[in-house]
Structure 1
Amino acid sequence: MDTLIKKADILVEALPYMRKFHNKTVVIKYGGSAMVNDEIKESVMEDITLLKYVGVNPVVVHGGGPVINKTLDRFDIESEFYEGLRITTKEIMEVVEMVLVGRVNKEIVSLANRFGSKSIGISGKDGNLIQAEDYQVDDDIDLGYVGQVKEINPEVLDNLIDSGFLPIVSPIGVGPQGESYNINADLVAGQIASALSADKLILLTNVEGILGEKDNKDTLLSSLTIDEAEDMMEAGKIAGGMIPKVNSCINALQGGVRRTHILDGRISHSLLLEIFTDRGIGTMITN
């Protein structure tokens, strides 16, 4: 009986948050280690399905870096990175699109549907959802078919949400001539969150969050302001693959999203812990 009472207490604790987020949109970027571990995959999809059933409107934007890496290795194609972004030749772009749209997206849709979500997978090319242009960098470096979001057409996602579907978005953008662009999934998630006026942006990753000192888990920062995050990037304390994540949060906040979070997707039910309890995990970035 004590165990049952504790379970009831947990539900009561979650009630205010269920009311708060009822009918609110939450954009979730799903990637990293959470995509290669079957147990965590199922945990994430269970969480997202539960969010849907209690009245939250989740939108999933997925990555697929580890799967892309394995496929490129199989084809003996080498790739390089610049500030966390994969330099994308035409050959690599064909592989990226094949993996993200043809394989990863459909696997996620299938798993989500298995848990009871009415999910639909789309890429940024469908309905011109993600209109893209060349990604601009200060240095004299050609990133190839790496894109940045020029414009999001929220009508596509609004219609799916209004019809009760769970949209699962592959971050392939479309250029002015119909060409495909490889866009960092973190950045896409931030732009989609802004376009949908989402209440939250949550980035699932394979680290604890933002650390004050490199490799020191005890220095996990529970919250940061935009100014503090920018100062840390300038000082080199935020580097590599964390840069697009932090920039995604900053762009989303400046676009009207209320709160952004970088969570450790390796923790079981990290989404539910963040949204439905008063014990937040990871790092929250706010205005």
Structure 2
Amino acid sequence: MSVSEDKTMLAKAETLIEALPFFQRYAGRTFVVKYGGHAMGDPEAARDFAEDIVLLKAVGINPVVVHGGGPQIGAMLKKLGVESTFVDGLRVTDKATAEVAEMVLSGAINKELVGWIANAGGKAIGISGKDGGLVKATKVTRTTK
């Protein structure tokens, strides 16, 4: 093992020792972790995120990952020639946009994230908020003055 690898291993060990009280305090609890679409563009960050999720489970914390996908949805809409409209930072989601969003979030990002966790040694399943009525949405209406 090189000096650089030794230093890396020592730093990781120190971090785990420092985190031990946190792990003990929250063992058995469920953490909801938001993983944003902007963060997904970096494969190294994705690998690190997956390893952190696997670590949480290994120390007895139950992670639930809720992921975004705004940039990926925007890219797919552009690729398909569907125009995106935003009002006050929120995407206006008509039927065509909703179909593309579901395809990207459930069909691509969700599966990719499950794969990252599996590659990091964890077990994960991917579900959609639509599955079993897990998430309900209410239409937002805006009026201009």
Range of TM-score over shorter length: 0.7 to 0.9
Structure 2 residue 115 is matched with structure 1 residue 122: no
Q: CA deviation at 1:12?
A: 2.3
Q: CA deviation at 1:5?
A: 5.9
In 1: Cα distance, 2:118 partner to 2:111 partner: 10
Instruction: Tell me the TM-score normalized by structure 2.
Output: 0.85
Q: 1:26 matched to which residue of 2? A: 31
3-state DSSP of counterpart to 1:121: coil
Kindly indicate which of the two structures has a greater share of residues assigned to strand.
Answer: 1
Two-structure CA RMSD over aligned residues (Å):
2.0
3-state DSSP of counterpart to 1:133: coil
Q: 2:98 matched to which residue of 1? A: 93
Q: 2:111 matched to which residue of 1? A: 106
| 8 Å CA contact 2:76, 2:100 repeated in 1 | yes
List per-residue Cα deviations over 1:166-218 (Å, max 9, x = no partner): xxxxxxxxxxxxxxxxxxxxxxxxxxxxxxxxxxxxxxxxxxxxxxxxxxxxx
Q: 1:58 matched to which residue of 2? A: 63
Q: 1:81 matched to which residue of 2? A: 86
List per-residue Cα deviations over 1:199-238 (Å, max 9, x = no partner): xxxxxxxxxxxxxxxxxxxxxxxxxxxxxxxxxxxxxxxx
Q: CA deviation at 1:84?
A: 2.3
In 2: Cα distance, 1:86 partner to 1:32 partner: 14
Structure 1 counterpart of 2:138, from 119, 127, 133: 133
Gap runs ≥5 in structure 2? none
Q: 1:46 matched to which residue of 2? A: 51
Q: CA deviation at 1:18?
A: 1.1
Structure 1 consecutive aligned stretches of length 4 or more whose deviation exceeds 2 Å: 1-12
Q: CA deviation at 1:136?
A: 4.2
In 1: Cα distance, 2:34 partner to 2:11 partner: 31
Determine what percentage of the aligned residue pairs are the same residue: 49
| 8 Å CA contact 1:36, 1:66 repeated in 2 | no
List per-residue Cα deviations over 1:123-161 (Å, max 9, x = no partner): 112121112222244x25xxxxxxxxxxxxxxxxxxxxx
In 2: Cα distance, 1:109 partner to 1:53 partner: 16
Q: CA deviation at 1:17?
A: 0.9
| 8 Å CA contact 1:109, 1:119 repeated in 2 | yes
In 2: Cα distance, 1:20 partner to 1:54 partner: 11
Q: 1:210 matched to which residue of 2? A: none
| 8 Å CA contact 1:30, 1:63 repeated in 2 | yes
Q: CA deviation at 1:74?
A: 0.7
- The alpha-carbon distance between structure 1 residues 6 and 70, as it changes in their structure 2 partners (threshold 3 A), is closer
Kindly indicate which of the two structures has a greater share of residues assigned to helix.
Answer: 2
3-state DSSP of counterpart to 2:38: helix
In 2: Cα distance, 1:56 partner to 1:22 partner: 5
In 2: Cα distance, 1:33 partner to 1:41 partner: 11
In 2: Cα distance, 1:8 partner to 1:107 partner: 29
Q: CA deviation at 1:8?
A: 4.2
